[in-house]
Amino acid sequence: MFWFLLLTMAVVVAGVTLAVVGGGGSPVLQDVAPERLTDPLPADRPLGRADVEAMRLPMSVRGYRMADVDEALDRLGAELAERDARIAELESALAGAQATAAGGPDLFKRPGEPLSGQPWSGERTGEQTGGRPEDEHRPEDGGDGR
């Protein structure tokens, strides 16, 4: 009986040793599954509402993994900043186009220059001096205009 127990014990120890060392053709210890199964946000296109709604972050013992949350928030912040800059650019282009189409102020015109595009002669008309008609029709002979 002693020899039987000793032989059984030797077979069990040999079996456990072979299992741990990996004496078989396939690995006994499986590869660890990645903590992140997939990237939750697409990298090849801008984000949309459906992407954010479909995003599911992997859980850890204490909740969501901070690195994943930080990465998702950084990506969303960058996308929003890029969209805000693009919106501001388009709004300024639209405002400039509307001002040009409506005959708005010409930014390259000198103060007092007529809107007709004629070069400024340096003389002021009654409209430019406050609208006093007596300033416009001065006699050339040096009189007081009465």
Sign of CA dihedral 104, 106, 111, 115: negative
The reply to whether 125 falls in a domain is no
The reply to whether 72 falls in a domain is yes
Residue-range definition of the domain harbouring residue 73 = 49-98
- Return the percentage of the chain with pLDDT > 90, whole number: 23
The reply to whether 94 falls in a domain is yes
Mean pLDDT value across residues 78-84: 93
116-136 per-position pLDDT tens digit: 555 555 555 555 555 555 555
Closest CA to 127 of 135, 119, 118, 138: 135
The reply to whether 44 falls in a domain is no
d(Cα 19, Cα 87) in Å, to the nearest integer? 63
Task: Count structural domains, the chain.
Answer: 1
The reply to whether 68 falls in a domain is yes
pLDDT given at position 104: 56
The 3-state DSSP class for residue 77 equals helix
Using the predicted structure, report yes or no on whether residue 141 has a pLDDT greater than 90.
Answer: no
Using the predicted structure, report yes or no on whether residue 71 has a pLDDT greater than 60.
Answer: yes
d(Cα 123, Cα 112) in Å, to the nearest integer? 9
Long-range contacts of 98-107 (CB under 8 A, 24+ apart): none
The reply to whether 24 falls in a domain is no
89-107 per-position pLDDT tens digit: 999 999 988 888 876 555 6
pLDDT given at position 81: 94
Q: What is the 3-state secondary structure (H, E, C) of 56-70?
A: CCCEECCEECHHHHH
Backbone φ, ψ for residue 60 (5° rounding): -125, -170
d(Cα 139, Cα 116) in Å, to the nearest integer? 27
The reply to whether 135 falls in a domain is no
The reply to whether 60 falls in a domain is yes
